[in-house]
Amino acid sequence: MEKRLLGLTGIKITPILMGTWQAGKSMWVGIEDAETTRAIRAAFEAGITTIDTAEIYGDGHSERMIAQALADVRSRAVYATKVFPTHLKYQQVLDACERSLKNLRTDYIDLYQIHWPAGAFKTEVVPIEETMSALNDLKEQGKIRAIGVSNFLRGQLEEAAKYGRIDSLQPPYSLFWRYVEADTLPYCIEQNISILAYSPLAQGLLTGKFGPGHQLQPGDHRVNNKLFKGENYRRVQQALAKLRPIAERLHTSLSNLALAWLIAQPQTSAIAGARNAEQAVQNAQATEVSLSAEDLAELDAISCMVTHHLDENPVMWDWPEGPLLIH
């Protein structure tokens, strides 16, 4: 799998990253540790050597599963993890990093990211200058190799960049969720900031496995996802009906069609999760899908059937008050 540079660093990442929110188990149903570790290892063996996680995913459980799966090949993997907005004061950042290093069983983290801006989910508003000071010190100490942010809008990204080099932005981004393109993506292109797109399959919608009338299981976090609700969900089904013939013509799956479109966007790689080894291997095959300019234009037009009807709020979920276990 051909790799890409992360921002202005010398770190090489894969166009598809292994996402491990589900490995933390919290807010997911039917996740088993043994299957998780097999999936992570299968992704690595299939060429997906960049792994994304976060301290909040099962309170470190996801990080520990990555270590269990990849400790013997750590030097050939790229680890990206995140610090939660409850830990953005200077010493809290340092302490959180130490916990993640221990969980991951490593002495360095390739990419360390601010998960959400300070103040998100009623957390304390910590000046970005303080958080960046801690991240810069960790970088100088060699405990982290690069700094990234997640769920930041353009203004927040520009403010963070005043205090240190930002090499990646992790936003929700897919054929059905394209807010980042409005003004943040152009800034990232200008500044050579890599886009690491999460929810590239719109939390499973772009797999096609959720049909009309599908009922989510109790405890599934997707009950709060705007795309799974009302008119949005009906438009999603209409768009999927138009995407299926394209996938069939290109001899690929709906999932890999969506991933191929995403990694064809400027400076964009896709973070794709997998519940099992088979899904992980299938995700890797998305890099083999070749899309022409005409294909991309057709996919753009179909995408607009959904995206043009969404509200102006770039957060994908209608969460109840005070959630903390989130992406």
Do the bridges between strand 4-5 and strand 168-170 make them parallel or antiparallel, or are there none, so unpaired?
unpaired
Catalytic residue among 57, 112, 173, 179: 57
The CA–CA distances, whole Å, from 139 to 170, 194, 212, 257 equal: 19, 18, 48, 37
CA 210 from chain centre, in angstroms, equals 21
Pick from 131, 116, 127: nearest CA to 82:
116
- The residue length of the chain stands at 327
Give the DSSP H or E segment for 271: strand 268-273
Pick from 42, 4, 36: nearest CA to 23:
36
DSSP-assigned letter for residue 105: T
108 carries an active-site annotation = no
Residue-by-residue DSSP string for 246-265 = HHHHTTS-HHHHHHHHHHTS
Q: Name residue 324's amino acid.
A: L
The answer to whether 192 and 8 have CB atoms below 8 angstroms apart is yes
Neighbours of 26 (CB within 10 A): 18
Tell me the C-alpha distance between 88 and 323, whole Å: 18
Tell me the C-alpha distance between 225 and 232, whole Å: 10
Catalytic residues: 57
